[in-house]
Amino acid sequence: MNRVTYQDIQRDVLDRIKSREWEPGDLIPNEETLADTLGCARATVNRALRELAQAGIIDRKRKGGTRVSISPIRKALFDIPIIRKEIENKGNKYSFEILSEKKTRLNKIDGLSVETTHKSNDVPYAFEQRWVSLKIASGLKKLDLKTISINEWLVANIPISTGTISFCAESASEKERKLFNISSNNALLIVNRETFITEDLVTKVRLSYPPGHKIKTIL
């Protein structure tokens, strides 16, 4: 019989949260109950829950029990934006077009690779190249990708615990030059981002923006 690790318990808890078996604000079973159910030591459960609490996914109170966080996303220094809202907040019409979609594997994990153009008043606003884990975001298998962008669906449905983000300028590829209708001398603003649930990669995305685009955040 395989020994249950604290990572196994974390995955079990996260699966229940993602499937909405345990919804935001719900009280989850105590450590003793989880240890009996999963067949492991209470100390193992304690470590698993302690790390999830540190990531902001659950809230633990000594006399109030453990609950799923109301907003199970750790407060980040840079919030993950919903591109639709960015565009609509400027008073413009949002639309998006999926250019390609295929199942791929990254680090032996089944995923979905999607290229999307986000448009403002029918003009290309951002070009998104994304890989997303179907192990974590299993709901995408049933989602009609023409009804909602993956960017917006992930922000609304998948909690994250950590991530990385970088900004740089890069020369436009031939595809990007045609998309943004620019010359080969133009550089694009590039945003690369990875997000995780504990140690599991949720999504990896590259966003390219046309010359002159600005990103503003609040410190």
List the chain residues with pLDDT less than 50: 1, 73-77
CA dist., res. 206 & res. 104, Å (int)? 16
Question: Encoding tokens for residue 162?
Answer: 């950590």
Domains 6-68 and 83-209 share a fold: no
Report pLDDT for 163: 87
Closest CA to 123 of 148, 98, 92: 92
Fold of 6-68: Arc Repressor Mutant, subunit A (1.10.10)
Report pLDDT for 197: 82
- Positive/negative CA dihedral, 121, 177, 215, 193: positive
* DSSP reduced 3-state for 14: helix
Write out pLDDT tens, residues 79-112.
Answer: 688 999 999 999 999 999 999 999 999 999 999 9
CA dist., res. 2 & res. 176, Å (int)? 50
**Over the Cα atoms of the chain, what is R_g?**
20
Closest CA to 163 of 132, 197, 137, 133: 197
CATH number of 83-209: 3.40.1410.10
- Positive/negative CA dihedral, 32, 35, 39, 42: negative
Q: Where are the domains of the chain?
A: 6-68, 83-209
Report pLDDT for 1: 46
CA dist., res. 138 & res. 197, Å (int)? 14
